[in-house]
Amino acid sequence: MKILVTGSDGQLGSDLVPLLAREGHDAAGADITGSGASSLDITDREKTISSVVRLRPEVIINCAAYTAVDRAEKEIDAALAVNRDGPANLADAAGEIQALLIHISTDFVFNGSRNLPYDESQAADPLGVYGKTKLLGEQEVAKRLPGHIIVRTSWLYGTHGHNFVKTILRHAGEREALRVVYDQAGTPTSSFDLAGALTVMVNRYASGSAPYGTYHYSNEGVASWYDFAVRIIEGAGRLGAKLRCARVEPILTGEYPTPAKRPAYSVLDKKKVKETFGVSIPHWQDSLEKTLNELYGGGKVA
């Protein structure tokens, strides 16, 4: 199938485009940072629609997002442009050519007040600007384009781009101790694993089946940011990383104030995506180990 991946230079898009190509799809990447044919600013409505109509992909996968959670509290217009208006433009463009739009969203659409995993039927109630703009993007897609799939994910990391894993590794190389919150729980998710699940969805669509709707995908298991950080440092140490950090101190959210409020518990229930698409989901610790092996084996940490 002919597939357009927006945000292709980000951590998810960088894994997704080559994976789709290996599956035999004609996958083209587009990003606001690209040039020529690979340049696409999804916030520009006219250019987005004209580009999509010209390319005529059968599937559009929107990986583009404004993800600076704390900065979004001040840069509201910028977050709205990318997270709300961009998906709306893509949905209208997809409607023009009757393409499937797969839109990536976030666990931050939930307020985190539950102590059980969130399934797709739970009411969204985001705490901060980032989550609110992502929810608005979901709503724009849903009302404009019946033929859509929304995939919410959580705590995404990978070998490309900026993410928590690389931040912890950098700080652990510079400092003897780190302080990390332990009262926020979720599930770290490998961008490569998510790319694999999206590829399964595309293959299913190519076979003639179109199970539209909203799905949750993250790796299996539960962790706090503290648990995640400890596992990152331990895993990197086993691989011979030269780290100064000898201690990770668990702290409460109140001891590390941030501009944006974050959900205290945002674990996602994956039953629907597993039953619908038959995907096998690895545990977050196993996927983290693979990522660390790739980072250090490929020399990509810096």
Q: Is the pTM of this model over 0.85?
A: yes
Per-residue pLDDT for 299 more than 70?
A: no
Residue by residue, what is the 3-state secondary structure of the chain? Answer: CEEEEECCCCHHHHHHHHHHHHCCCEEEEEECCCCHHHECCCCCHHHHHHHHHHHCCCEEEECCCCCCCCHHHCCHHHHHHHHHHHHHHHHHHHHHHCCEEEEEEEHHHCCCCCCCCECCCCCCCCCCHHHHHHHHHHHHHHHHCCCEEEEEECCEECCCCCCHHHHHHHHHHHCCEEEEECCCEECCEEHHHHHHHHHHHHHHHHCCCCCCEEEECCCECCEEHHHHHHHHHHHHHHCCCCCCCCEEEEECHHHCCCCCCCCCECCECCHHHHHHHCCCCCEHHHHHHHHHHHHHHHCCCC
pLDDT mean over 185-190: 98
| Model confidence pLDDT, tens digit, residues 114-123 | 989 999 999 9
Per-residue confidence at 36, pLDDT binned at 50, 70, 90? low
Report the 10 Å Cβ neighbour count for 189: 27
Per-residue pLDDT for 34 more than 80?
A: no
| Yes or no: domain 2-163+188-220+266-282 corresponds to CATH 3.40.50.1820 | no
Domain ranges of the chain: 2-163+188-220+266-282
Position 32 scores a pLDDT of 77
Q: Distance (Å, rounded) from C-alpha 19 to C-alpha 203?
A: 12
Q: Distance (Å, rounded) from C-alpha 173 to C-alpha 246?
A: 10
**Higher pLDDT, residue 188 or 30:** 188
Considering the candidates 66, 130, 215, 265, report the single residue annotated as catalytic. Answer: 130
pLDDT mean over 118-130: 97
pLDDT mean over 121-129: 96
292 Cβ neighbours under 8 A, 6+ residues apart:
165, 232, 235, 236, 239
Kindly compute the dihedral angle of the four CA atoms of residues 214, 81, 63, 215, in this order, to the nearest 10 degrees: -10
Position 38 scores a pLDDT of 72
| Model confidence pLDDT, tens digit, residues 233-268 | 999 999 999 899 989 999 999 998 999 999 999 999
| Model confidence pLDDT, tens digit, residues 208-241 | 887 999 999 999 999 999 999 999 999 999 999 9
Q: Distance (Å, rounded) from C-alpha 21 to C-alpha 37?
A: 18
Is 130 among the catalytic positions? yes
Per-residue pLDDT for 3 more than 60?
A: yes
Position 209 scores a pLDDT of 82
87, 137 contact by CB (below 8 A): yes
